[in-house]
Every structure is written in structure tokens, then in C-alpha cells.
Amino acid sequence: MKILRKFKTFVKLPARTKLLFAEAFFTSAWVKASLKFFPFKRVMGWLGGIQQESDAEADPNTLELRREVKAALSLCNKYAPWPTECYTLSLTGKLLLRRRRIKSTLYIGFMKDENGKYKGHAWLRANDLYISGIKEARGYQIHSRFS
């Protein structure tokens, strides 16, 4: 019954949302596999210029599209059968935005936990809208920016 309910919900979504979700789903699978099997140097090329930031000003012309990408990533995070960590989601979002010629900045930050071990986190911003990971970014010190 749960699968049937999810299927009915999916059918009711607008066609554009379905297509963007499918693109996010398959891009996320590609990113996840790439991070697992390719050397990190190869994946680094997808990130963009190191220690560079994109424009943080509002762009009303792309706001709707940026919101749709954010929603598609949220659906992908919820329904993908593989773990979609912050880095996978942020890189997936960056690739989706790049295909649409929307500039974005991927941030990578670190912090020490209560046991003295370092934890990492990634989040993505496009113009004035955070696409993924900003809620969890509190307390992380930005180490790298990729635009």
C-alpha cells in the first residue's frame, strides 16, 4: 500500500517536476558511482574553479528554476535507494544547475565534534538561494569554495 500511495503522489506531480526529479535521480546515481570508483582528481573537474564564488545577488529570471532544482534534489534525497550524503546532493545540484547555465558555489566545511574528530559537510548556493545542505551547515568552518 505504501508503494501505491507513493506512485499516486508521483503521478499527480507536474510533468516538469517529474522530468527534473528523474534527471536528479540518475545524475545522483552517476555522482555516487563516480565518487566510489573514480579518483577524486577526476571528480574535482566537475566542481569548478577552486576558491572562487559565484554571484550572491538575487536573480528573479532564474528563481523558479532554482527552486525546482532544490525540490528535485529534496525528492531525490527522500526516494533514492542509495545514501545521498550532503556531498552527493551538492555535486548533483551543481551539475543540474550547470546544465541550465546557472552559476553556483559548492562549499566544503569542516568542524571538530565533541570527541575531537573532524566532520565534513558540503552545501550548495545558487545566487541568493541555498539549494542543499544549509540547515546542517551551522558550526562548519568553510575550507573550500568551488564555482
Nearest in space to 122 (alpha carbons), one of 31, 18, 23, 17: 31
Model confidence at 36: pLDDT above 70: yes
pLDDT tens by residue, 37-66: 988 788 888 788 888 888 889 899 999 999
Q: In this structure, how many other beta carbons lie within 10 angstroms of the beta carbon of residue 87?
A: 20
> Can you tell me the mean pLDDT for 84-104?
94
Nearest in space to 43 (alpha carbons), one of 101, 103, 122, 135: 122
Write down the pLDDT at residue 142: 93
Least confident among 4-13, 23-32, 117-126: 4-13
Model confidence at 127: pLDDT above 70: yes
Least confident among 7-11, 93-97, 115-119, 136-140: 7-11
Model confidence at 141: pLDDT above 90: yes
Write down the pLDDT at residue 114: 86
Q: How many domains would you assign to the chain?
A: 1
What is the average pLDDT value for the chain, to the nearest integer?
90
SS (H, E, C) the chain: CHHHHHHHHHHHCCHHHHHHHHHHHHHHHHHHHHHHHCCHHHHHHHHCCECCCCCCCCCCCCHHHHHHHHHHHHHHHHHCCCCCCHHHHHHHHHHHHHHCCCCCEEEEEEEECCCCCEEEEEEEEECCEEEECCCCCCCCEEEEEEC
Write down the pLDDT at residue 103: 94
**Please, which pLDDT band fits residue 116 given cuts at 50, 70 and 90?**
confident
> Which residues are CB-neighbours of 114 under 8 A, at least 6 positions away?
none
- Kindly give the interhelix angle for 40-47 and 15-37, rounded to the nearest 10 degrees: 140
Model confidence at 14: pLDDT above 70: yes
Structural domain boundaries enclosing 104? 2-146
Write down the pLDDT at residue 1: 60
